[in-house]
Amino acid sequence: MQKLRMNLSIRQKEIPFVVGEHLGDTLCQYLLGEFPEHSIFVISDDTVNQLHGAQLTSHLSAHPGFKELFSFPAGEASKNAETTASLHDKLLSAKAGRDTVIVAFGGGVTGDMAGYVAATLHRGVQLVHVPTTLLAQVDSSIGGKVGVNHAAGKNLLGAFYQPTAVFSDIHYLSTLSDEEYINGMAEVVKYGVILDPELWQQLEANIAAVVKYDPSFIEPIIRRCIQLKIDVVEKDEKESGLRSILNWGHTVGHAIEKLSQYGVKHGFAIAEGMNIAARLSHQLLDYPQELVHRQKALFANLGLNTVHLHDYSLDDIWNVILTDKKARRQLPRFTLMRTETKPELYYAIEKQELEDAYQTE
């Protein structure tokens, strides 16, 4: 038997994250500088297109390669293989070649789907994120996770595919509904609970400023969350270990989203998922009860306490989480915490243990 080897050198990739207001011209100048001869296509949902599409395409028209904006029906229900196939068809019909840059312009659904399209079109074309929601700016646009949902569960089809740049324009947050804005705060709370006790305290001490969109308050919060996630992703890009800490609350949260047929927004679902994760952490790992109560109280003060696990049967929740990407050996794996700063990753949970947390308030 003869053995052959391939040694691949992975190129160091530096990804700029730009945070500010009214970044349309800055985005165009970046594209002109980095991709002067590429074709530029924008992917957005119809809500963002209606609100901001004309303004963005006006900025991008200064690029000689700007071609078109393609949109799809807004909402998690569109995040599937059928929608991405339609986007592939439109791009290929427009003669999008390997010298294409896809600008993902919208919230988390758009970023995940446009990223998946970019990763698969011609085996990969350039991707730039322009997130327009708080959830996307602090979480989903960072780290290179792209994909779509499957009938069996959320985000089961996808890839790790890094963008070349991310432009987080906080001006777009001013047009969000109160519900959508608070939806993104669940991920902000997550960073505080699992990675940054000072951020957690800051949120607790400034509830009024957190709830109300205040650019002077929210911009540094966004920058802090981005830096926290960058620090984790730099250590573990493909989620083989540490990056799983960012799944705090997501195992049950994703199940709630699926069982609600995505009628429950992501942030509201993972807020309840985080409450369950905290209770499991206390029951199994002696995570301090005080921290369980603090997290729950913060969600209540933010209005993120409208979803309850008791709205769903334990059997339904269990059956969904068995198909979660993190499941191993027919057992779901949770991100839990031992202390405020010490996680326990890929922790196997038995059904009875989940039931105990399910029944505990």
pLDDT tens column, 225-277: 999 999 999 998 888 889 899 999 999 999 999 999 999 999 999 999 999 99
User: Has residue 11 been placed in a domain?
Assistant: no
Locate all alpha helices (DSSP H) within the chain, ordered by sequence. Answer: 24-34, 46-48, 54-60, 81-93, 108-120, 134-135, 178-195, 197-205, 207-211, 215-235, 250-259, 266-285, 289-302, 314-321, 351-359
247 in catalytic set: yes
254 in catalytic set: yes
The alpha carbon of 306 is separated from its chain's Cα centroid by a whole number of angstroms, namely 21
Q: Are residues 266 and 288 in the same domain?
A: yes
User: Has residue 308 been placed in a domain?
Assistant: yes
User: Has residue 4 been placed in a domain?
Assistant: no
Q: Are residues 127 and 190 in the same domain?
A: no
**What is the C-alpha end-to-end distance of the chain, expressed in Å?**
61
Q: Are residues 120 and 221 in the same domain?
A: no
Q: Please name the residue that has the structure tokens 């199940």.
A: 255
Q: Which of 129, 258, 266, 326 is catalytic?
A: 266
Residue 52 pLDDT? 97
User: What total of structural domains would you count in the chain?
Assistant: 2
User: Has residue 2 been placed in a domain?
Assistant: no
Q: What distance in Å separates the CA atoms of residue 349 and residue 124, rounded to the nearest whole number?
A: 37
Q: Which of 59, 224, 254, 265 is catalytic?
A: 254
pLDDT tens column, 180-227: 999 999 999 999 999 999 999 999 999 999 998 889 999 999 999 999
243 in catalytic set: yes
> Which residues, in sequence order, are CB contacts of 288 under 8 Å at separation 6+?
282, 339, 340
Of 174, 196, 226, the one marking the end of a domain is: 174
123 in catalytic set: yes
Q: Which of 187, 224, 282, 296 is catalytic?
A: 187
Q: Are residues 270 and 311 in the same domain?
A: yes
- Give the domain extent around 117: 17-174
User: Which amino acid, residue 52?
Assistant: H
Q: Are residues 61 and 139 in the same domain?
A: yes
Residue 330 pLDDT? 66
User: Has residue 27 been placed in a domain?
Assistant: yes
CATH (domain of 208)? 1.20.1090.10
Q: On the CB side of 46, how many CA atoms lie within 13 Å of its CA?
A: 7
338 in catalytic set: no
Task: Put residue 116 in one of left, alpha, beta given phi > 0 → left and psi -120 to 50 → alpha.
Answer: alpha
CATH (domain of 31)? 3.40.50.1970
* Under 8 Å between Cβ of 121 and 39: no
pTM of the model: 0.92
Residue 358 pLDDT? 83
229 in catalytic set: yes
279 in catalytic set: no
Angle formed at CA 331 by CA 330 and CA 332, multiple of 5 degrees = 125
**DSSP structural state of residue 146:** E
Strand 126-131 relative to strand 165-169: parallel, antiparallel, unpaired? parallel
145 in catalytic set: yes
Of 151, 174, 197, the one marking the end of a domain is: 174
Q: Which of 59, 145, 154, 326 is catalytic?
A: 145
Structure tokens at 356: 């105990």
Q: Are residues 199 and 119 in the same domain?
A: no
Run means of pLDDT, 10 residues per run, the chain, 361 residues? 63 86 96 97 97 97 97 94 97 97 97 97 97 97 93 87 96 95 97 97 95 92 96 88 93 94 95 97 97 98 93 92 70 92 92 88 63
User: Has residue 272 been placed in a domain?
Assistant: yes
